[in-house]
């Protein structure tokens, strides 16, 4: 400790810690909401013989359920699931608005949303999970914290073992992977870069490479105060 060579952990600021934890609770609510939606779709297709999409579930009414389910017991069970799903969606929306209005640096969220694929939820997740950007000495340290770098031990260019693959922040890893999926879908330049990478490597490896690029770009624009440049990141 006197030499200063022992690594020190980062203590998240108390002022934003509860807001970060509240956004993490959203993952549990969304998972429960998805389970209820899948249960409703399964019950509907099993009873009627017709598939039901997620958009149809969002607009499903009690009258439609009564006309599709003649059995009162099955109908009652589906209505209970539908009410629970609707209540969860209301609470999730309210939670998202509350977190957005209690961010410490909302201007950073606007800058992050300029990156292709990053929406409001992903931007808030990246903002709150990253914390102070100056705690990362380099962009490589930040990419490693986001689980974008493989944990492998090399000797003379040959792998000799693996480190702890679960080191880092799993929420940041999820956010950048989701942003990569949306980026290759809606940004033509990133899509072309992804297609070239996918032609040589596996699809998951190419997707992780896009997520790695986005993480490095967010670090640079966060630290330098600049806007996202597709040519610089995927040129």
pLDDT digits (tens, 9 = 90+) for 11-50: 888 888 999 999 999 999 999 999 999 988 888 888 878 8
- pLDDT at residue 100, rounded to an integer: 92
Strands (E) in 75-162, as ranges, are: 152-155, 158-162
Average pLDDT for residues 122-150, to the nearest whole number? 92
- pLDDT at residue 173, rounded to an integer: 95
Q: Would you place residue 78 in the very low, low, confident or very high pLDDT band (cuts 50, 70, 90)?
A: confident
Q: Would you place residue 120 in the very low, low, confident or very high pLDDT band (cuts 50, 70, 90)?
A: very high
Q: Are 190 and 234 in contact (CB under 8 A)?
A: yes
Highest mean pLDDT: which range of 11-20, 58-67, 121-130: 121-130
Which residues, 6+ apart, have CB-to-CB distance to 182 below 8 Å? 116, 117, 118, 119
94 token code pair: 């309210």
- pLDDT at residue 115, rounded to an integer: 93
Residue 164 has pLDDT above 80, yes or no: no
pLDDT digits (tens, 9 = 90+) for 211-222: 999 999 999 998
- pLDDT at residue 73, rounded to an integer: 87
What percentage of the chain exceeds 70 in pLDDT? 99
The H or E element containing residue 48 is helix 14-48
Average pLDDT, the chain: 89
Highest mean pLDDT: which range of 76-85, 188-197, 224-233: 188-197
End-to-end alpha-carbon separation of the chain, Å? 44
Distance, in Å, from the CA atom of 179 to the CA atom of 170, rounded to the nearest integer, reads 14
Q: Helix, strand, coil % (nearest 5) of the chain? A: 70, 5, 30
Residue 153 has pLDDT above 80, yes or no: no
Going from N- to C-terminal start, the domains of the chain cover 15-100, 106-234
Beta bridge partners of 155: 158
């Amino acid at each position: 400790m006197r030499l200063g060579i022992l690594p020190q952990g980062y203590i998240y600021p108390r002022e934003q810690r509860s807001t970060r934890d509240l956004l993490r609770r959203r993952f549990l609510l969304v998972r429960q909401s998805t389970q209820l939606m899948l249960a409703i779709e399964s019950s509907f297709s099993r009873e009627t013989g017709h598939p039901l999409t997620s958009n149809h579930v969002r607009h499903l009414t009690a009258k439609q359920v009564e006309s599709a389910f003649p059995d009162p017991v099955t109908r009652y069970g589906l209505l209970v699931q539908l009410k629970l799903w609707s209540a969860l969606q209301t609470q999730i929306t309210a939670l998202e608005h509350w977190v957005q209005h209690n961010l410490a640096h909302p201007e950073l969220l606007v800058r992050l949303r300029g990156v292709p694929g990053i929406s409001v939820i992903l931007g808030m997740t990246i903002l709150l999970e990253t914390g102070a950007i100056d705690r990362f000495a380099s962009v490589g340290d930040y990419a490693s914290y986001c689980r974008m770098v493989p944990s492998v031990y090399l000797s003379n260019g040959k792998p000799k073992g693996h480190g702890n693959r679960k080191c880092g922040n799993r929420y940041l890893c999820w956010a950048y992977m989701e942003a990569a999926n949306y980026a290759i879908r809606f940004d033509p330049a990133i899509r072309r870069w992804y297609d070239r990478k996918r032609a040589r490597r596996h699809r998951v490896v190419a997707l992780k490479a896009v997520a790695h690029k986005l993480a490095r770009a967010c670090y640079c624009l966060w630290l330098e105060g600049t806007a996202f440049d597709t040519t610089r990141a995927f040129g």
